[in-house]
Amino acid sequence: MMVKIQGNEKESGLIETFSITGGDFHHAGQVSTQIKEILKELGIDPNIVRRAAIVAYEAEMNVVMYAQRGIFMLKVTPQQIKFFVQDEGQGIPDIELAMQEGYSTATPEMREMGFGAGMGLPNIKKNSDIFEISSEVGKGTCLNITIFLDQGKKQ
Amino acid sequence: MNQYYHSIRFDETKCRGRMRCLRVCPTQAIRVRNGKARMIEERCIDCGECITVCPNGAIIPLTDPFGELSRFRYTIAIPSPALYAQFGREILPDKILAGLKKLGFDEAIDLAYTCGEVSFAIQEYLRNYNGPRPLISNACPTIVRLIQVKYPELIDHIIPIDTPREIAAREIKKKKARQLEIPEKEIGTFYITPCPVKMISIKQPAEKGRSNLDGALSIADIYGPLISAMESLEESEGQRRGLESICILGIGWAISGGMSRTLRLRNSLAVSGLAEIIKVFDDIEKGKIRDIDFIEAYSCTHGCVGGSLTVENTYSSYNKIIKLIETLEYEKIKACPDIREVRRRYEQKYYLIEGKLEPRPLSPLDQDIGRAIQKKKLKETLFEQLPKIDCSACGSPTCLAFAEDVVQGEADLNDCVFLWPQKITLLAQEIITLVEKTGIKIKKPEKEAKKENDL
């Protein structure tokens, strides 16, 4: 059986959706590992893969630590990688404060596990090209992240 | 594409396509096509897992035969410290080295001493290091290749200090050439290896152009002759200095965790076994393991004593090394290099590796990202049709790998036996339709006709 690759769909990107369960530390990190594998398979530059892996991991861990559940969406086009992460959880009362390095609301248990250094959101911002965050207390948080594949043409 | 040298060869006449190798390969570098195993060269990292599981002995490690020694005027054996763990506890390194000489080498040198020097050099490097953490040991060539192939973005984490075997070979060659007044190329240095991967690190070093070693002999091959040679030793030969001659820092290189233990590195991890290492490397990539300075990583479980070319049981030999370290610690014996001398040499870049390590990432689905995305989508659609039980009967290691092989034109979707019933049903219907078209009445088989009559 021959399998053909259609050329006309070339422009449409690859979309993958993952769900994350809050508090599930046992499976935490699997989404970002899968995302990393996909990006490598697509032949994305190793340095960009590394940045994307860090962003994905931090974003995933935020859902695991602070929300009940979340959706992680990946979209890859020949120009860019986009992450869309939406969770149902406690939300962030003061985003500006949460963006400060070293600020953390992690519980002692989370710190015991090596999290809660207050680097999560700043790390995501540092490693992405466009970073948007919105949050509603008691409802959840939404992240919109873009990493450009052609770093020379970064806008 | 034949650009990579591999230390493993598949013997087609012996291979019966039993798929064991296919299933254990950590980088999915093996496919079985037409009943014979074959290697995808760019994927293989020479870990040797396949050698151990092949029930037909069809996967052959390529080490040098003993006859290679005759190519040189003067020959030197440099045994891996793992060799010291292959015999009873009363047989100490001195005796083993004397035994090697008896076997026909002009000289046999103790590598543990150089290992000790390199331990100190690593300590020096860690002290002044400010780059990405953790640093990863390069002692195991499989780990270096795993990073080049599967974790190219971790390449800067590999410590740029050369391996003891390379440094020892370089120095002894220089020294002997001066002493004997013969050119270096007439001196042959042979590593006595616990695994096949050291062979490629000699034939095709990952970083520099040429290795200082000239060949590798397997521990398994010399074991028998070495035992006889040691038995025939005179009282005066070997075992004179006993424990006093063993460098405690170096002996630890035979086992996973030995280096960190003897150096008393507080912030280090020792990881062994490829499956475990892959988990740790995944975590490093995510930025998870940030507070660790150094990782001792060995592809074989428990380190070099677990190599596929060793003879003694891995656990016994691991235990032997641990006991030896404990004894040396207890007796406070430290026949190790002078740290001031190591520091002086370190400043002169004596231990630094020549050349730069380049990544060799696996080819993506396509060089063009747009096409790669389309192929990825197709791969997922195909994967959905597959049974996902990874039986590997098709000759690819998993259903996902099979889907990729089909997308890349390397395999035929019909190779999946689970798609046959569907296909056969369709074919049968097609046949009936064709027969009906001819207008000939189909006579039912006797059995079925009888059944209908009975009803």
- Which one of B282, B364, B406 has the shortest CB-CB distance to A41? B364
Is B144 exposed, middle or buried, given 0-12, 13-18 or 19+ CB atoms closer than 10 A?
buried
Q: Is A62 on the interface with B (CB under 8 A)?
A: no
Say which of A9, A54, A77 has its CB closest to residue B287. Answer: A54
Domains in chain A: how many in total? 1
A85 falls within a domain: yes
Cβ distance A5 to B374 less than 8 Å, yes or no, reads yes
Q: Work out the minimum CA distance from A134 to partner chain B, whole angstroms.
A: 24
Q: Over the stretch A110-149, which tens digit does the pLDDT of each residue have? A: 776 667 666 688 889 999 999 999 999 999 999 999 999 9
Chain B residues with beta carbon closer than 8 angstroms to that of A77: 373
Query: A5 in a domain, yes or no?
Result: no
Average pLDDT over every residue of B145-161: 92
pTM recorded for the entire structure: 0.84
Lookup: tokens for B406:
């089909």
* In a domain? residue A2: no
Q: Which residues contact B77 (CB under 8 A, 6 or more apart)?
A: B97, B100, B101, B103, B105, B107, B108, B109, B190, B192, B217
Structural domain includes residue A3: no
Instruction: Kindly report the backbone phi and psi dihedral angles of residue B217, in degrees, each rounded to the nearest multiple of 5, phi listed first.
Output: -110, 140
Handedness of CA B86, B159, B155, B291 (dihedral sign): positive
For residues B353 and B373, what is the distance between their CA atoms, to the nearest angstrom? 39
Strand order in the sheet with B294-298: B135-136, B294-298, B268-272
User: Is residue B314 a contact partner of residue B219, using CB atoms and an 8 Å limit?
Assistant: no
Any domain includes A8: no
CB neighbourhood size of B160 (10 A): 16
Q: Determine the Cα–Cα distance for residues B298 and B137; give it in Å rounded to an integer.
A: 9
Mean pLDDT of all residues in B346-356:
91
Does a structural domain hold residue A4?
Answer: no
Please name which of B391, B378, B373 lies closest in space to residue A2, comparing C-alpha atoms: B378
Structure tokens at B425: 């049903």
Q: Do A54 and B286 touch (CB under 8 A)?
A: yes
Tell me the pLDDT tens digit for each residue of A51-72.
999 999 999 999 998 899 999 9
User: Could you tell me which of A8, A140, A3 has the C-alpha nearest to residue A66?
Assistant: A140
- Tallying the residues shown for chain A, one arrives at 155
Q: Are B136 and B259 in contact (CB under 8 A)?
A: no
For B204-243, what is each residue's pLDDT tens digit?
887 767 899 999 999 999 999 999 999 988 766 655 567 7
Q: What are phi and psi of A9, to 5 degrees?
A: -90, 10
Stretch 75-104 of chain A: residues touching chain B, C-beta under 8 Å: 76-78
CATH of residue A58: 3.30.565.10
- The rounded distance, in Å, linking the Cα atoms of B401 and B411 is 10
Would you give the distance in Å from CA B19 to the centre of its chain?
A: 20
The distance of A43 to chain B (nearest Cα, Å) reads: 5
Q: Is residue A139 less than 8 Å (CB to CB) from chain B? A: no
Among the partner-chain residues A12, A43, A47, the one whose CB lies closest to the CB of B364 is: A43
For B210, residues 6+ apart whose C-beta sits below 8 A from its C-beta are none
Residue B192 reports pLDDT greater than 80: yes
pLDDT of B330 strictly over 70: yes
Cα-Cα-Cα-Cα torsion B399, B400, B404, B406, nearest 10 degrees, comes to 20
**Strand partners for A134:** A142
Model pLDDT, residue A146: 96
Averaged over B5-28, what is the pLDDT? Answer: 91
Question: At residue B424, what is the residue type?
Answer: I
Considering chain B, what percentage of its residues have pLDDT values greater than 70?
95
Side chain identity, residue B127: R
* Mean pLDDT score of chain B: 90
B233, B95 in Cβ contact below 8 A?
Answer: yes
pLDDT at residue A10, rounded to an integer: 47
Q: Is residue A82 part of a domain?
A: yes
Average pLDDT of the segment spanning B106-120: 94
pLDDT value of residue B207: 72
In degrees, rounded to 5, the angle at the alpha carbon of residue B452 between the alpha carbons of residues B449 and B455 is 155
Q: Who's near B128: CB < 8 A, 6+ residues apart? A: none
Predicted confidence band of residue B200 (pLDDT cuts 50, 70, 90): confident
Q: Considering the domain boundaries, does residue A1 fall inside one?
A: no
Which amino acid is present at B115?
Answer: C
Distance of CA B321 to the CA centre of its chain: 21
Question: Quick one: average pLDDT of B392-409?
Answer: 95
DSSP state, residue B255: S
DSSP helix/strand/coil, B88: coil
CB-based contact B141:B273 (threshold 8 Å): no
DSSP B118-151: HHHHHHHHHHT--SSS-EE--SSHHHHHHHHHH-
DSSP state of B1: -
Can you tell me the ipTM of this complex?
Answer: 0.81
| Any A CB within 8 A of B373 CB | yes
Identify the bridge partners of residue A7 per DSSP, sorted by sequence position. none
The Cα B131–Cα B294 span in angstroms is 12
C-alpha B422 chain-centroid distance: 42
Quick: pLDDT tens for B213-222: 999 999 999 9
Question: With bands split at pLDDT 50, 70 and 90, how would you rate the model's confidence at A11?
Answer: low
Provide the CA B53 distance to its chain's centre, in angstroms.
14
Q: Does B416 touch chain A (CB under 8 A)?
A: no
The four Cα atoms B195, B199, B201, B204 give a dihedral, to 10 degrees, of -150
Tokens (6 digits) for B158:
């590999």
Per-residue pLDDT at B89 = 80
Residues listed for chain B? 455
The closest CB to that of B153, out of A32, A42, A50, belongs to A50
Name the DSSP letter for residue A149: S
Q: What angle do CA B32, B36, B37 make, to 5 degrees?
A: 55
Range A69-94 average pLDDT: 93
pLDDT at B58: 93
β-partners of residue A87 are: A70
Name the most confidently modeled range: A26-30, A117-121, B97-101.
Answer: B97-101
Residue numbers of the domain that contains A132: 14-153
Above 60 in pLDDT, residue A7?
Answer: no
Phi, psi torsion values for B452, nearest 5 degrees: -65, -40
Chains A and B form CB pairs within 8 A to the count of: 89
Strands (E) located in chain A: 14-21, 67-76, 80-89, 130-136, 140-148
Q: What is the DSSP string of B159-194?
A: --BPPHHHHHHHHHHHHHHHHHT--GGGEEEEEEES
Residue % of chain B over a pLDDT of 90: 65
- The residues near B191 (Cβ < 8 Å, ≥ 6 apart) are B78, B79, B80, B165, B169, B198, B202, B213, B215, B216, B217
Closest residue in chain A to residue B287, using alpha carbons only? A54
The CA distances from residue B237 to B75, B82, B180, in Å, are 19, 22, 23
List the structure tokens of A11.
Answer: 């422009």
Contact A3 B378 (CB under 8 A): yes
